[in-house]
Amino acid sequence: MQDFGDIFYNRVLLAALTASLVAQLLKLSIGFAKDRKVDPQVLVTTGGMPSAHSALVTALATGVGQSVGWGSVEFAIAAIFACIVMYDAAGVRQAAGKQARILNQIMDEFFQDNHQFNEDRLKELLGHTPMQVVAGSALGLAISWFIVPA
């Protein structure tokens, strides 16, 4: 059995986690450039530019392809996993965010008449635009090519 400490030498895992972290830090930087304020909350929330989910799974799939081969079963599994995650980020979660926005608008209009009701707002920024997914994927690809040896 391998030593658990070997996990720190797994360059594919390192590439995937680095891609996700860099994407989250880029969200912080982009938010600062736009709003001139630092919002550390973006480091732990979903949505925004670039997609950290896409960066992570693309770096993972790319790293697997680089390490064990582009024709391997492992790469096929990682690539399909990446496609599902990115489709979900740009499709299902984006639609859920749009529904949350509409429900929040209904709630705002409903409370104009001072009705008593739980007025917790729904999180609207759940998913990503296709451009955010592409940007995250490009970031993951670049980081994997830099970290994982061919």
- Residue-range domain boundaries for the chain: 4-147
Contact 150, 11 (CB under 8 A): no
> CB-based burial of residue 21 (10 Å sphere; 0-12 exposed, 13-18 middle, 19+ buried)?
middle
Q: How far apart are CA 47 and CA 123, in angstroms?
A: 10
46-70 per-position pLDDT tens digit: 777 899 999 999 999 999 999 999 9
How do residues 35-47 score in pLDDT, each as one tens digit?
A: 888 888 877 777 7
How far separated are the first and last CA of the chain, in Å rounded?
Answer: 26
CA gap 75, 78 in Å, rounded: 5
Answer yes or no: is pLDDT of 120 > 70: no
User: pLDDT at position 136, please?
Assistant: 93
pLDDT of residue 37: 85
pLDDT of residue 47: 74
130 in Cβ contact with 54 (< 8 Å): no
- Write down the pTM of the prediction: 0.76
